[in-house]
Every structure is written in structure tokens, then in C-alpha cells.
Amino acid sequence: MGGGWNVGEFAAEDLFEMAAIVEQGGFDFYARLIARSTKPQVKNELKFLRDEEATHKSFFLEQLRKRGLTPKGKVSPALRNLLDREFLEPMEKIYASGDVSDADKTLAFGVALEEKTIDFYTTLRSGKAAPEQAADLDRIIAEEGQHKKKLGIMRSYWG
């Protein structure tokens, strides 16, 4: 998604709205993993990741409010297609397949999802973010990178 995706055709407000939806999806993903894990250490790591997703969502919603907008929880049809294709449909597919019971597959999926999120936020940062949003987006991108790293480490001790 990241390299060839042109954010120039979308308003920043729509991209912030999409980012909030992506973060809610991440929150829900981690909540499902928490429910399936039996190891306290894994549960604690996943709770940390889940809570960071909630913080990221709050940031994007606040950006909308700062622009005098009320978050809608939806995006334009073009962005909805992208959101569905890149984030929501793959998540629904893994939930429906039962693969969410397979820790290795699920954590590998989580790593890929974090990569897509990083690509999206990097594109947002370089294309639509105002200068005052840059530091916050850099922080969120770094945190998503840490999520990806933690998921990779968890693959070695989940059970």
C-alpha cells in the first residue's frame, strides 16, 4: 500500500478518520488475542499493544476535533474500498478461518498488519500532515514499529 498509494486525492480529514478506524481494528485484534492467550506475560504485552492502539485512535480523533469536525466513524467510498481491502477484510478473513487459534499464523498476520499501518502513516506523514502533527505521527510510526517487533518476539514464546 505505502509506496504507490497517492494520498493527494484525499482530504486530510478523511485520512485521519480512516486512521481512527484502523486503530480501532488494531484494538479489536489485540483484544481477541488477549482472550485466546493463557500466558500472563503474553496477555500483559497484548494489553499494552491494545492500549497503545486506543491512544493512537484518540490522537486521530483529536486532530479532527481541532479542525472543528465531529468524527463520523466512516470514510468516503474510495477510502472505504482501500480500508476494506487492506485492513478490515483480511482481519475478518483470519477471524472466520479459525487461524486466530494458531498463534504463529495470528502473530505473523499481526506483523503484516503493523507493516501496513506503518506504510499508511508514513504516507500520511509525508503527504498530508501539518507541521505540528509531524512529531506525533513520528511517535505513532515508531510505536507501531515496536508493536511489530514485540509481535515477532511473542511468536517465540506464545503457547
In degrees and rounded to multiples of 5, residue 3 shows phi and psi of -60, -45
Q: Which of 16, 18, 19, 131 is nearest to 65 (CA)?
A: 16
pLDDT of residue 2: 42
Average of per-residue pLDDT across 3-24: 82
CA torsion 33→39→43→45, rounded to 10°? -110
pLDDT tens-digit profile of 65-112?
A: 998 999 988 898 988 888 898 898 998 888 888 766 677 888 889 999
Percent of the chain with pLDDT strictly greater than 90: 41
Residue 88 per-residue DSSP state: I
For 20-76, what is each residue's pLDDT tens digit? 999 999 999 999 888 888 888 888 989 999 999 999 999 999 999 998 999 988 898
* pLDDT the model gives residue 16: 92
Which are the contacts of 72, defined by CB distance < 8 A and separation ≥ 6? 17
Distance in angstroms (rounded) separating the CA atoms of residues 95 and 74: 22
In 3D, which of 119, 54, 129, 29 has the Cα closest to residue 82? 119
Determine the pLDDT at residue 20.
95
Over range 5-33, report the average pLDDT.
88
Q: Average pLDDT for residues 13-19, to the nearest whole number?
A: 91
Cell 504507490, located at residue: 4
Question: Virtual CA dihedral for 71, 77, 82, 87, nearest 10 degrees?
Answer: 50
Amino acid symbol at 86: E
Q: What is the pLDDT of residue 117?
A: 93
State residue 3's pLDDT score.
45
State the pTM of this model.
Answer: 0.88
% the chain with pLDDT above 70: 92
- Name all domains of the chain by residue range, CATH numbers in brackets: 10-154 (1.20.1260.10)
Residues 6+ apart with CB under 8 A from 12: 128, 129, 130
